[in-house]
């Protein structure tokens, strides 16, 4: 499933990587995607994806969305698009209720 990041924020581990270099926080490395606190929108779904629809807002849970707990900090919250492999509702992606408005 392809998601488009629409909002991202900075976490303490992002600051640790910035201030103290690579190998801190969630093992952020030079050349890797950065950021893991974000709200995204479903851009495209694969043929086997049943629980999500295009334009739904989702929260990617970094530990599972990155497919590696050690790489949660490099999920890619500051990129425009992300490919989420094996998208599973309430596991690596959570729906954001429509009642919650973003400003």
Rounded-to-integer distance, Cα 21 and Cα 59, Å: 27
Question: Which residues, listed in sequence order, are joined to residue 5 by a DSSP beta bridge?
Answer: 40
pLDDT at 98: 85
> Closest Cα to residue 71, out of 81, 56, 80, 60?
60
pLDDT tens-place values along the chain, 103 residues long: 999 999 999 888 778 777 887 766 556 777 778 788 999 999 999 999 999 999 999 999 998 998 887 777 788 899 999 999 999 999 999 999 988 876 6
Residue 81 and residue 40 in contact, taking contact as beta carbons nearer than 8 Å: no
Rounded-to-integer distance, Cα 90 and Cα 103, Å: 25
């Amino acid at each position: 499933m392809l998601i488009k990041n629409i909002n991202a924020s900075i976490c303490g581990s992002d600051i640790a990587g910035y201030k103290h270099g690579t190998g801190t926080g969630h093992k952020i490395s030079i050349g890797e995607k950065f950021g893991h606190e974000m709200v995204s929108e479903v851009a495209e779904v694969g043929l086997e994806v049943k629980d999500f629809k295009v334009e739904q807002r989702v929260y990617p849970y970094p530990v599972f969305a990155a497919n590696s707990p050690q790489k949660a900090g490099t999920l890619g919250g500051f990129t425009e698009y992300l490919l989420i492999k094996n998208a599973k509702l309430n596991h690596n992606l959570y729906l954001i209720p429509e009642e919650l408005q973003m400003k």
